[in-house]
Amino acid sequence: MTTRIVHAGQEIVILDDGQTIAHQCSPGDIAIISEDSKYFVCFVGADGGIDSWNEPYDTAIEAIEAIKNV
């Protein structure tokens, strides 16, 4: 089940395995995706393009905290 958190007016979407950004996120959302037991932060642009941070996090909580600290 997708988890959605709103922080500072920004929606953070934590995706479960098998879920895709294209099907779960809207432009302006921040997605946290799991890959190889690491969590990556991805930004969905207004045109649907995706940009991401290069450094993965060990947990989704760490990824959320990193987003909140920006």
pLDDT value, residue 18 = 87
pLDDT value, residue 45 = 96
Q: What is the pTM of this model?
A: 0.92
Integer Cα distance of 1 and 12 in angstroms: 14
* Structural tokens at position 46: 């207004």
57, 38 in Cβ contact below 8 A?
yes
> What is the extent of the structural domain holding 42?
3-68
Number of domains in the chain: 1
5, 64 in Cβ contact below 8 A?
yes
Paired with 51 in beta bridges are 43
How do residues 13-68 score in pLDDT, each as one tens digit?
999 988 999 999 999 999 999 998 999 999 999 999 999 999 999 999 999 999 99
pLDDT value, residue 7 = 93
